Amino acid sequence: MRLNDLGLVRTGIQRPDPDDVARLSQFGVATIHEAMGRVGLLRPYIRPAYSGAKLCGPAVTVLLQPGDNWMFHVAAEQVQAGDVLVAGCTTESEDGFFGELLATSLTARGCKGLVIDGGVRDVADLESMDFPVFSRAINAKGTVKATLGSVNIPVVVANALVNPGDVVVADVDGVVVVPRELVGAVADASQKREDNEEAKRQQFRDGVLGLDLYGMREPLAAAGLEYVEG
CB 68 within 8 A of CB 146: yes
Task: For domain 3-187, give the CATH number.
Answer: 3.50.30.40
Q: How far apart are the first and last CA of the chain?
A: 63
**Residue 225 among known ligand-binding residues:** no
Whether 1 shows a pLDDT value over 60: the answer reads no
**Residue 101 among known ligand-binding residues:** yes
Cut 0.75: pTM above it: yes
Amino acid at 104: T
**Residue 121 among known ligand-binding residues:** yes
Residue 5: per-residue pLDDT: 77
**Residue 100 among known ligand-binding residues:** yes
Longest Cα–Cα distance of the chain, Å, equals 73
Residue 42: per-residue pLDDT: 98
**Residue 24 among known ligand-binding residues:** no
Compute the distance between CA of residue 158 and CA of residue 87 in angstroms, rounded to an integer: 10
Compute the distance between CA of residue 117 and CA of residue 177 in angstroms, rounded to an integer: 14
Q: How far is CA 72 from the centre of its chain?
A: 18
- Average pLDDT of every residue of the chain: 96
Q: What is the DSSP string of 109-130?
A: TT---EEEEEEE--HHHHHHHT
Whether 202 shows a pLDDT value over 70: the answer reads yes
**Residue 142 among known ligand-binding residues:** no
* Candidate from 3-17, 56-70, 104-118, 183-197 with smallest mean pLDDT: 3-17
Compute the distance between CA of residue 219 and CA of residue 15 in angstroms, rounded to an integer: 46
Give the pLDDT band of residue 23 (cuts 50, 70, 90): very high
Compute the distance between CA of residue 157 and CA of residue 173 in angstroms, rounded to an integer: 17
Summarize pLDDT for 122-167 with one digit per residue, the tens.
Answer: 999 999 999 999 999 999 999 999 999 999 999 999 999 999 999 9
Compute the distance between CA of residue 111 and CA of residue 38 in angstroms, rounded to an integer: 28
Nearest to 47 by CA among 136, 180, 119: 136
Element (H, E) at 222: helix 217-222
Query: Could you state, in order of their start, the residue ranges of all structural domains in the chain?
Result: 3-187
CB 53 within 8 A of CB 79: no
